[in-house]
């Protein structure tokens, strides 16, 4: 984990017993994200410049962004604009980047780097607590078919 006032970034690394293609599917498919990511459904066509929207169950927008980079099944990056919190919504967008590296057969090392936060970010403390729970839940889902009570 790396988070300082100078760098204004947060990084998580997790190993998942699943192929990169399966982890990619977990990150980019609405039916998957709804199960482990605060019940939000991600929607995008994953093309450069396309919208990325995480919808709450009531179809309000939780997070919105634009695809910055897409290299299936290795790397995905997009902007991140929080909509679920009024104060956070006024903050400039940050960036989230997923890097998937194949390790030891069918295992994947998933690295999430969330960066480009303003100096007085209210989003950075929120995601710093949230990403590891979300990624742990993704890992549990992909490895067992079930989710934990945290997300």
Q: Where are the domains of the chain?
A: 10-144
Burial category of 105 from C-beta neighbours within 10 Å (exposed 0-12, middle 13-18, buried 19 and up) = exposed
Q: How large is the average pLDDT for residues 112-141? A: 94
pLDDT, mean over the chain: 93
pLDDT digits (tens, 9 = 90+) for 4-56: 445 589 999 999 999 999 999 999 999 999 999 999 999 999 999 999 999 99
Global confidence as pTM: 0.92
Instruction: Say which residue the tokens 């980079």 belong to.
Output: 69
Q: Is the peptide bond before 73 cis (omega within 30 degrees of 0)?
A: yes
Q: Is the CATH number of domain 10-144 3.30.530.20? A: yes
């Amino acid at each position: 984990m790396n988070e300082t006032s100078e760098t204004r970034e947060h990084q998580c690394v997790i190993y998942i017993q699943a192929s990169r293609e399966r982890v990619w599917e977990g990150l980019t498919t609405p039916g998957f994200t709804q199960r482990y990511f605060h019940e939000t459904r991600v929607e995008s066509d994953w093309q450069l410049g396309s919208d990325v929207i995480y919808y709450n169950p009531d179809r309000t927008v939780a997070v919105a962004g634009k695809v910055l980079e897409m290299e299936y099944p290795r790397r995905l990056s997009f902007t991140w604009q929080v909509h679920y919190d009024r104060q956070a919504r006024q903050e400039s967008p940050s960036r989230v980047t997923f890097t998937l590296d194949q390790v030891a057969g069918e295992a994947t090392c998933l690295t999430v780097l969330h960066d480009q936060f303003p100096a007085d970010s209210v989003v950075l403390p929120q995601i710093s607590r949230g990403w590891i729970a979300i990624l742990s839940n993704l890992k549990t889902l992909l490895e067992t078919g079930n989710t934990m009570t945290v997300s």
